[in-house]
Amino acid sequence: MARGEARDIRRKIRATEKMSQITKAMNMVSASKLRKAEKVIKEYRPFIQYVQNTIAQILNSNLEITHKMLQKREVKRTGYLLITSDRGLAGGYNNNLIKKFESDVKTKHQSTDEYVIGVLGQKGHRYFVYKDVNLININPINMRDDVQFIDIIDIIQLLIDMYLIGEIDEIIIYYNKYINTIKQEVTAERIIPIEKIEGEKKSILYEFEPSPQKVLDTLMPIYVQNLIYGYILNAKTSEHASRMTAMKSATDNAEEVIDKLTLHYNRARQAQITQEITEIVSGAAALK
Amino acid sequence: MIKINVVTPLGVLFEEEVEMIVFRNTEGEQAILENHIPVVVTLNPGYVRLKRNGETLYVTVVGGFLEFSNNIVTVIAQEAEVGRDHENALKHLEDLRKKRLEENRKRNIDFTRAERDIKEEIKKIKASKYL
């Protein structure tokens, strides 16, 4: 019996070792993806800054001009945009987000008619698709690691259009805010209506073609689309960081398990040897 | 000389010094030479034509605008492509978009299929316990 036990434990040790190799590899992959995601954000920042400055410029130069997205109105219906991931094994990345969202909704709304949800990422979609909520995307929207504008433009445009025609009166985004590698926080932020657009003051007087209002009408959706894209990039960075930490602790845990199992294994092996000796000795004694 | 920068969310796409630029949007065509007054133009969709050493280049833009001040042109665009002609560029951008969406759709299908398979396997494993 002891022999069988030792073999079982050894098999378990080997399996755990393999598992820890996988988690270690995933940790390293996530680390490199995290660096890449940080680079993407860095390249994106001047872009949004530029759009923001130009809009601020238009608004500062002419006081009469305004846009629906800048005007607050009474909120009857809310549009939510949740950013989740495609794949799991990222710690509490998706769970925390959904939990926070659901508790917020419970306190804020009485019925499901008061809000609509757009979900990015397969994990979130799979969670909400069978729930009794107003989901605006029937098909899941991919949140690939190399997320591109094309992937997400449709749903963002849909939300913006819904706001512009008055179906919803505000858009709130839920995402995991990247604070640092080990800390990410589920954050809710209102995107539309925009309260204030900050931009550096320039003393240049621009001419707007075809007209300031038309330029603003074109720029506002572009600005909002890119703002959301920025949040998505941030969430993506969080996802990689979260997965990295999760895989790191999984590797650590596996090592702990291996240590414990090795102890058991040695004990079992010793027991087996003792048993064998006892058998031989008693066998020899019986022959006497 | 006018300096032109084309910026997309993926970073700076194009940086060059040119003699003259012509832009075209839904309103029509207009040229900008050196020392033009500061101007902001929407390009959705539209293109910018550049003249550089007698060579003509097109920057095709979807969802963006152009800003000119102090002899610096900045084209801000969600999607942009630099090329020798304009018609093909627009088509190319459209193709890229279609390809990407198709790819995403396929991924979704693959994913769903894989998920269904794994569910079936799990069921089989569970069933083997009752043997």
Q: CA A241, CA A278: separation in Å to the nearest integer?
A: 55
Residue A85: Cβ within 10 Å count: 25
The per-residue pLDDT for B131 is 60
* Measured CA distances, B16 to B5, B11, B68, B78 (Å): 7, 15, 14, 19
Please answer whether residues A137 and A118 qualify as being in contact, where contact means their C-beta atoms are separated by less than 8 angstroms.
yes
Residue A129: Cβ within 10 Å count: 14
Q: Where are the beta strands (DSSP E) in A24-140?
A: 78-83, 115-120
Residues of A with CB under 8 A from a CB of B: 40, 43-44, 46-48, 50-51, 54, 57-58, 86, 122, 139-140, 142, 144, 148-151, 202, 204-210, 214-215, 218-219, 222, 225-226, 229
| Domains of chain A, CATH where assigned | 29-244 (3.40.1380.10)
Q: Could you tell me whether strands A170-180 and A78-83 are parallel, antiparallel, or unpaired per DSSP bridges?
A: parallel
> What letter would DSSP give residue A113?
G
Does pLDDT of B89 surpass 90?
A: no
Nearest C-alpha of chain A: how many angstroms from B39? 4
Contact: A206, B39; criterion CB under 8 Å: yes
Name the packing angle between helices A93-108 and A212-287 (round to 10°).
130
> What letter would DSSP give residue A15?
H
Q: CA A242, CA A184: separation in Å to the nearest integer?
A: 7
Highest mean pLDDT among A9-18, A149-158, A200-209: A9-18
The per-residue pLDDT for A100 is 94
Residue count (chain B): 131
Q: CA B6, CA B124: separation in Å to the nearest integer?
A: 57
The per-residue pLDDT for A201 is 67
Contact: A150, B111; criterion CB under 8 Å: no
Q: Where are the beta strands (DSSP E) in A13-53?
A: none
What was the ipTM of the complex prediction? 0.77
**pLDDT band, residue A110 (cuts 50/70/90):** confident
Whether omega before A212 lies within 30 degrees of 0, making that bond cis, reads no
- CA dihedral angle for residue A189, residue A190, residue A196, residue A201, rounded to 10 degrees: 50
pLDDT in tens, A180-218: 888 889 999 888 888 777 777 666 777 887 788 888 888
Q: CA A260, CA A277: separation in Å to the nearest integer?
A: 26
Q: CA A152, CA A232: separation in Å to the nearest integer?
A: 9
Q: Which helix (H) or strand (E) holds A31?
A: helix A2-61
What average pLDDT does the segment A259-277 reach?
93
> What token pair was written down for A117?
């949800």
Mean pLDDT lowest for which of A21-25, A259-263, A275-279, B92-96? B92-96
Which residue in B5, B48, B71, B104 has the most chain A C-beta atoms within 10 A of its own C-beta, making it the best mutation to test that interface? Answer: B104
pLDDT in tens, B98-130: 888 888 888 888 888 888 888 888 888 888 776
> What token pair was written down for A287?
């022959």
- CA dihedral angle for residue A31, residue A32, residue A38, residue A41, rounded to 10 degrees: -130
Q: Could you tell me whether strands A183-192 and B72-83 are parallel, antiparallel, or unpaired per DSSP bridges?
A: unpaired
Region for residue B24 given its phi and psi (left: phi exceeds 0; alpha: psi -120 to 50; beta: otherwise): beta
| Angle formed at CA A240 by CA A181 and CA A37, multiple of 5 degrees | 90
Does pLDDT of A238 surpass 70?
A: yes
Q: What is the pTM for the complete model shown?
A: 0.84
Please answer whether residues A134 and A112 qualify as being in contact, where contact means their C-beta atoms are separated by less than 8 angstroms.
yes
* Spans of all domains in chain B: 2-98
**Site of tokens 């012509």:** B22
Q: Where are the beta strands (DSSP E) in chain B?
A: 2-8, 11-18, 20-25, 28-32, 39-43, 46-52, 55-69, 72-83
The per-residue pLDDT for A58 is 79
Q: CA A133, CA A80: separation in Å to the nearest integer?
A: 11
For the domain made up of B2-98, give the CATH fold: ATP Synthase; domain 1 (2.60.15)
End-to-end CA distance of chain A: 27
Residues of B with CB under 8 A from a CB of A: 7-11, 25, 27, 30, 37-42, 44, 63-65, 67, 69-70, 74, 76, 78-79, 96-97, 100-101, 104-105, 107-108, 111
Contact: A226, B27; criterion CB under 8 Å: no
> What token pair was written down for A163?
């706001």
Contact: A206, B40; criterion CB under 8 Å: yes
